[in-house]
Amino acid sequence: MALSPRGCRRLLDPGGHGVLPVSRPRGVTMKRITIAVLIDALAWDIVEARGFLPELAHRRPLRTVLGFSSAALPSLLSGRHPDEHGRWFLYRRDPVESPFGFARLLAPFEGRGAIGRRVRTAYEKSFASLGGVRGYYNLYEVPLRYLPWFDLPERRPIFEPGALGRFPTLFDRLEERAIPHRVWFWRTPEERNFDELLSAAGEGDEAFLFFYAFELDGTMHARGTESEETRSKLRAYEEALRAALAAAARRADEASLLVFSDHGMVDVVRAIDVRSRVLALPFREGVDYLPFYDSTFARFWFRSQGAWAAIRDLLSGEEGGAWLAIEEEKRLRVHFPGREYGDAIFVARPGTVIAPSFMGSAPPAAMHGYHPEGKGSDGVLLSTRPIPEATRSILDLAALLEKEAARTHGETGNGDDR
């Protein structure tokens, strides 16, 4: 990651979070600056083994939620469980709200070699420009014929105010309280975001800086947690964050850095081909049942009791995972009575992936999306400041960050310590 020299200022912020004036002198002093950095998939186990940013003296594992970032990020930013804010998986069954109706017309071409691949690419491009979805999504390898059954709950980026409707996120709270801040996320390239973070820490107007680092997650999926690529990405993050903290410290009485993550990461040791085994049963996919094969979850909706009984029995004997019981859904706060995320949900054990899946044919080198109490699933919180005793889960971060932002801004508390 190449960081541009200090002072390379960017006049326009494409994120719409403010414009840096050209005429203002550099290095305006500030009482406090807080840099809050969310590193996707920074696992507690990795931090423990490597000693990531060891100078951050206050360190703790954070329990995550069952699911992927599509569940963890809304929970982290709102302090609410998935069964409250409604976001669990990227795809949920909802043929009425589905933005993929047009895919039905192209589905017959899929699977016909080069023509099918061209049709799919053309569809993906047109959906990106016309689909009306501004939130994070990826069509991965979800079959075109099944897309019209599914909706994408995240219609606008989770890092924008109003993203969770009636549930305020950290960013809604910052707006409400008129706390100046800046936010970087996947909408702009990460390397450029790090350049801007450095400038903002050293000479920006906002004292509360929120940075979402998303590339480590993909590096680990592709190469594993022990790879040289992962090590070098971690080193680059350390270097960039040390530089930003140092830039803030040069002009603030107190410069704080909080580094946290949404979930962990586990190296993959085994892949199970659930789909082929289910297809071998005497029931028709897409007719007797609708499947969604995620990397670590196989979700099913049934139209026939026979199909449910057969698939249940088949996977009950599979060592690589287990059916999620309703009582466990409730305990983990991912119970959806409308069953929009699946009538029955099979969860892989840590280190096992379902491959091929709708996410891709080849298994990833590392994965997350396992039981939150399993090995490797914990996220982290590392801080220059003491961490409150009660902060134990990613759900505790929204309130903590809001408090830190208010403190940075100079508010001494308004009795609203949710």
Q: Considering the complex, state which of residue 41 and residue 315 has its C-beta at the smaller distance from Zn ion.
A: 41
Q: Considering the complex, state which of residue 56 and residue 268 has its C-beta at the smaller distance from Zn ion.
A: 268
Handedness of CA 157, 162, 168, 171 (dihedral sign): positive
Map residues 215-254 to x or -, x wherever contact with Zn ion holds by CB under 5 A.
Answer: --x-------------------------------------
Kind of pairing between the strands at 344-348 and 208-213: unpaired
Alpha-carbon distance 67 to 155, whole Å? 18
> Shortest distance, CB of residue 323 to Zn ion, whole angstroms?
23
Kind of pairing between the strands at 297-302 and 289-293: antiparallel
> Shortest distance, CB of residue 279 to Zn ion, whole angstroms?
27
Q: Considering the complex, state which of residue 217 and residue 329 has its C-beta at the smaller distance from Zn ion.
A: 217
CB atoms within 10 A of CB 127: 18
Q: Nearest residue by C-beta to Zn ion?
A: 217
With CB under 5 A as the rule, give the number of residues binding Zn ion. 1
Q: Considering the complex, state which of residue 187 and residue 312 has its C-beta at the smaller distance from Zn ion.
A: 187
> Shortest distance, CB of residue 41 to Zn ion, whole angstroms?
5
> Shortest distance, CB of residue 360 to Zn ion, whole angstroms?
12
At position 18, the amino acid (one-letter code) is G
> Shortest distance, CB of residue 35 to Zn ion, whole angstroms?
23
DSSP, res 394: G
Site for Zn ion in 190-219 (CB under 5 A): 217
Q: In degrees, to the nearest 5, what angle opens at C-alpha 320 toward C-alphas 319 and 323?
A: 85
Nearest to 139 by CA among 158, 122, 163: 122
Question: Where would I find the beta strands (DSSP E) of 220-343?
Answer: 252-260, 266-267, 270-272, 289-293, 297-302, 321-323
> Shortest distance, CB of residue 106 to Zn ion, whole angstroms?
28
R_g over Cα of the chain: 22
Alpha-carbon distance 76 to 79, whole Å? 6
> Shortest distance, CB of residue 225 to Zn ion, whole angstroms?
12
CA-to-CA dists, residue 45 to 208, 352, 393, angstroms: 28, 18, 15
At position 323, the amino acid (one-letter code) is W
Lookup: tokens for 273: 């081909």
> Shortest distance, CB of residue 227 to Zn ion, whole angstroms?
15
Q: Considering the complex, state which of residue 217 and residue 294 has its C-beta at the smaller distance from Zn ion.
A: 217
Binding site for Zn ion (CB under 5 A): 217
